[in-house]
Amino acid sequence: KGIVHRAFSVLLFDTEGRLLLQQRAASKITFAQVWTNTCCSHPLYGMKPDEVDSPQATLSGNPIGVKNAAVRKLKHELGIEGLDPSRFEFITRVHYWASDVDTHGPESPWGEHEIDYILAYQLQPGENLQVKPEPDEVMAVAW
């Protein structure tokens, strides 16, 4: 269900290779209290720096707009600041569809239908990361 749209998913790893996970807030409309990747959201039109990439940027393997969007949302959801967009590794894009039957039952009108850009970020030795979750977005985090 729903119109397909662009999205991104961030997989953020510490220096030991552990993945930072988040548990979505109980107040979220979709997938409330579900444990998920580090951060996921949507690139927005009209943002500065730009968040929407041309087909050429994606085909070249450097969708910098989506990386800029990831920096914005990591700050908004998790209070993470200071990440360099150029250090995100663009892994691939996937066509993703999921209905939120856990929250809304088998006839759920809510879910996702996305072309999802998968991004990875590896912290470097000595690099410190402060995580301060926004309670309206995230109820818990774990490595």
Catalytic residue ranges = 40, 114
Instruction: Using CB atoms within 10 Å of the CB of residue 79, give its burial: 0 to 12 exposed, 13 to 18 middle, 19+ buried.
Output: middle
CA dihedral in degrees (39, 45, 50, 51; nearest 10)? 30
52 DSSP assignment:
-
The strands making up 39-41's β-sheet, listed across from edge to edge, are 39-41, 5-13, 111-122, 89-99
Contact in structure between 79 and 133 (CB atoms under 8 Å): yes
Residues paired with 119 in a beta bridge:
10, 90
